[in-house]
Amino acid sequence: MRAFLRAAPITRSSHLHFRSISRLRNYSFIARHRSSATPTATSTPTATSTATPSPSPLQGRYRLAASSPTSRQFVRRCSAHRMCHPKEASGSVDITRGREVLPGNVKPTNYAVELEPDFETFKYDGTVAIDLEVVEASTTVAVNIIDIDIKEVSVEYDGSSHSPTESNHEEETQTITWTFERTIPAGTRAILTVKFQGSLNDNMAGFYRSSYKDGDGNTKYMATTQMEPTDARRALPCFDQPDLKATWDVTLICDKNLTALSNMDVKEEKELDNGKKSVSFNRSPKMSTYLLAFIVGDLRFVENNGFRVPIRVYATPGSEHLGHFSAELAAKTLEFYDKTFDYPYPLPKMDMVAIPDFSAGAMENWGLVTYRVVDLLYDEKTASLDRKQRIAEVVQHELAHQWFGNLVTMDFWEGLWLNEGFATWMSWYSGNKFYPQWKVWESYVTDSYAGALGLDGLRSSHPIEVPVKKVSEINQIFDSISYLKGSSILRMISVYLGEDVFLEGIRRYLKKHAYGNTQTGDLWAALSDASGKDVESDMATWTKKIGYPVIAVEEHGSELHLTQNRYLRTADVKPEEDETLWPIFLGLRTKSGIAESLTFNTRHTTINLDDPEFYKLNANHTGVYRTLYPPARLAKLGQAADLLSVEDRAGLLGDAGALATSGYQKTSGLLDLLVGLKNEKEYIVWSEIASRIGSIKAAWLFEPKEILKGFKKFQKDLFAPITHEIGWDFKPEDSDILQQLKALAFGQAGYGGDEEVVAAAKKMFKKFADGDVDAINPNIRTAVYHIVLQHGDNDGEKEWDIIHNAYLNGRTSDERNVALRTLGRSENAENIQKTLNLCLNGEVKEQDIYQPISGLRAHAAGTEALWSWTQENWDILVKKLPPGLSMLGGVVGTCTGGFTSEEAIADIEKFFGDKDQKGYDRSLAQSLDGIRAKAAWVKRDADDVKAWLKAKGYTLAEKL
């Protein structure tokens, strides 16, 4: 590990001492930039190494007709850069690096596409002319295609047009190969022209239809796109791989009263004789197919001109005014990114569109970003602060992609983290700059960082750079590893290098690879160039290996012995799973400051402290690891709040919870730690306390009711004091953080059964039910709904109907979604069935099925009913959420993951044993691993928890 040796020399002859350290200082990651200076060997702590590292069901409809020569000429541009197609394959795919990719005999340089959607038949007619660079003499051309009827095909070169003599469609690889009688010579510039017809499907993939109700309650439609990861092939025949970049000329034909949008600005608009219009757009930069976008519909917009190109937010008529916040934020963000990346945003406009049916949160199409309605439109009168923060995060994430992903793109999907990890990190970085009052880096520890470690602590996790071979594998890596662990290791290296140096490396990366494709090593090379450190040697293990370590600490006076081993939540690490030795950025905090350059990459190491009275590893929790302290040290740290940052205190709780889950510590110790923090004042720490209680309750969900009642009493005792101290009246002078703390405390105390909070919730809800739509503050709307469902008459039957009506008739999508998410919280058997019925009776869009069912996982009755419903309706779910797309895996995880026993695992495995698991197998495995972890935890610590609850007076012995 050469960079570690330069920055922090590791020797076998000396222990780590702090007496000569001159560079240690007080440090706050959220307050200011770090210095970019590299510490010298004489000013950097050293560690003694005591070991050396080890080596480290798709349907296609195709009709091939004879083609006619075409006289239309197309402008040709330079070829797209290719990185993984060394030779032509004999079939429609080339097996390169284990990947199924298109043969490399031809490369696209430009697409000219014309589409005409029909909202009566939900079909569209299309023509695409693809300029090709012929790399090798060939008689075949293969493209990607799904669910498209081919009408005519021809290839034109050297002044003549040729029709194929043979067509071969391979459904498994989603390709079609056309064979021509004459060989197309190498070096030729050819044009492949295809006329076709496609369907505006209702699967939220490719070119699809989205429905909404207008002001009169009539159903209206728009046509829109979602191409990522591999659904451009559903919209038109194309070379659907991220490394096959090309330019695009798009023309849309539609009713003259509708709006047509694409990635670029309008070049020409012409009225046609049939009452329609033809809208042609300027040629795009060279880009990947997954970034292609076009939309046709009745849309309105608001515009912001605070940036050098116009920013527009589009929505269906009547809701466009809710786009002002996002439009203003986008203008500021693009200007900020221009300066931060030192590379001007290259497109002539930025459109952002709220789509009524959308499977993801948003999609970064270059110049035409699409969003779920709730993630773009903001009503400050009816939305909570959490919703405002969510919108800001999503907008800044997608705009970061305009550079990191769109301008510079991973060469294949195993590099997805390059796009998503960085955009995630950048959304937090820019959020901190724009909204310092939100203290986002504090919440990062309990959000992205916690999410990354949660999934990566399972055996069924995957490396950040996960090998991807088949199309069916791609959707499943859009998960916490690519997004959250990816951003966490970038945060880690940004702290190690210094934020200024890190961003300088990013600038060099973008400038060197603009309009091209990269691999992870290209990013490390740019950061190495900017920092003078061997970043790739430091970071390769973190991207190529699964998991992360737990660092066990042994104290011997002023000497600390540290040992790293792989952490698994299931507490059953096998020797062959514990061979990786991670480079550890220790981040040692002492009373003198933080030793940020202190590192080791061996199984064991020893360090010496000048003052062993106080220390903490992983300052601000920027290192991706857990720390196992001796119990006495953990207790001392719990009492040293004045020496710890907010991130430290929240991270300590996160580590303690994870280590209790996996058996490194007793659950009673975690509960004692929570009690010790009852005087905490910071929102983020209280948020983590709530998360720890929630995880315990989830694991003990099927234990005797007296146990859960005991936990609720404990929850009430923790949260009631601060709830009554700060109150739940939201005042204009309240800071954003105080608003969040009030909302959190009110909800947690109410869930614990605090009588005054429950009474207040009922009072607000009654006013709301009587017609006062503003009776419930948006920040506590979820909590009030939840509380009244738990404490209403007849187990919330009446309350469920009122909340259901709020879902049907809410003023905004946000209000409706809050109601929908809460309905499943009712434990009443009739309400549970009504909630489940919503998912398939047409009331709930496919994109929102996860919302009502996620609430059902909060209680045992709902968890069991949800699993029965899943088995009974499996065929319907597969039809509504095709496995080849992205949503089925999430639904499978939700419908199975609430269980806590080995018996449940056996039942789930039996059900899925004869099912085709393609497209959701990874999600299922992760869900089962989570159940195993909970089952082992409860089995191991059941008596410990019972004894603790009894000793604290939360349960009666005879009821256990």
User: Quick check: 483 and 422 in contact, CB under 8 A?
Assistant: no
What is the spatial distance between Cα 563 and Cα 49, in angstroms, rounded to a whole number?
10
What is the spatial distance between Cα 410 and Cα 637, in angstroms, rounded to a whole number?
43
Q: What is the b/e burial string over 880-895, where b = at least 16 CB atoms within 10 angstroms of the residue's CB?
A: bbbbbbbbbbbbbbbb
User: Quick check: 454 and 568 in contact, CB under 8 A?
Assistant: no
303 assigned to active site = no
Q: What angle do CA 799, 801, 806 make, to 5 degrees?
A: 95
Alpha carbon separation from 58 to 178, 239, 476 (Å, rounded) = 20, 18, 17
The 3-state DSSP class for residue 296 equals strand
- The residue ranges of DSSP E strands in 423-495, in sequence order, are none
CA 650 to chain centre: 22
Return the H-helix or E-strand segment holding 748. helix 736-751
Say if residue 545 is exposed, middle or buried (CB neighbours under 10 Å; 0-12, 13-18, 19+).
Answer: middle
> Dihedral of CA 442/443/446/447: which sign?
negative
The 3-state DSSP class for residue 695 equals helix
- The amino acid sitting at 617 is L
User: Quick check: 186 and 179 in contact, CB under 8 A?
Assistant: no
DSSP string, 617-647: SSGGG-SSSEEE--HHHHHHHHT-GGGS-HH
The 3-state DSSP class for residue 369 equals strand
What is the spatial distance between Cα 252 and Cα 19, in angstroms, rounded to a whole number?
71
Q: Please enumerate, by residue number, every residue annotated as part of a binding site for Zn(2+).
A: 397, 401, 420
User: Quick check: 865 and 832 in contact, CB under 8 A?
Assistant: yes
Q: Return the bridge partners of 161, or none.
A: 156
Q: What angle do CA 748, 939, 664 make, to 5 degrees?
A: 80
User: Quick check: 929 and 455 in contact, CB under 8 A?
Assistant: no
What is the spatial distance between Cα 669 and Cα 867, in angstroms, rounded to a whole number?
34
From 757, 761, 765, select the one nearest 721 (Cα to Cα).
Answer: 757
Alpha carbon separation from 363 to 243, 371, 850 (Å, rounded) = 19, 6, 19
User: Quick check: 43 and 23 in contact, CB under 8 A?
Assistant: yes
CB atoms inside a 10 Å sphere around CB 912 = 18
Write down the catalytic residue from 156, 398, 504, 846: 398
Give every CB contact of residue 640 below 8 A, 6+ residues apart in sequence. Answer: 614
- The residue ranges of DSSP E strands in 25-90, in sequence order, are 47-49
Place of tokens 């009913």: 865
Say if residue 800 is exposed, middle or buried (CB neighbours under 10 Å; 0-12, 13-18, 19+).
Answer: buried
What is the spatial distance between Cα 180 and Cα 159, in angstroms, rounded to a whole number?
16
Q: What is the DSSP letter of 142?
A: E
CB atoms inside a 10 Å sphere around CB 10 = 18
In three state form, how does the secondary structure of 565-595 look?
Answer: EECCCCCCCCHHHCCCCCCEECCEEECCEEE
Residues annotated as catalytic are 398
